[in-house]
Amino acid sequence: MGKPKALVDRELCLACGGCISVCPQSAISMHGMRAFVTREKCISCAICIRTCPVGAITGEVY
């Protein structure tokens, strides 16, 4: 078991792209006009969580 990974709430995401530009792992991409985290790439740094303007990204350990 690793750390919990970032998860995007598709209902809240505005597709602004902010999280995609800050992720150091390039773990986030657009899928169907919503941000999507590739869990295998995420290192649980929480930068995307602090960046999202609408609080659409969560993760248990942050």
Binding site for ligand SF4 (CB under 6 A): 6, 8, 13-19, 23, 25, 27-28, 35, 37, 42-48, 51-52, 54, 56-57
CA distance readout (Å), 62 to 23, 30, 57, 59: 15, 23, 11, 6
CA distance readout (Å), 9 to 13, 36, 38, 57: 6, 9, 14, 6
Between residues 1 and 43, which has the closer beta carbon with respect to ligand SF4? 43
Smallest distance, Å, CB 7 to ligand SF4? 9
Smallest distance, Å, CB 1 to ligand SF4? 16
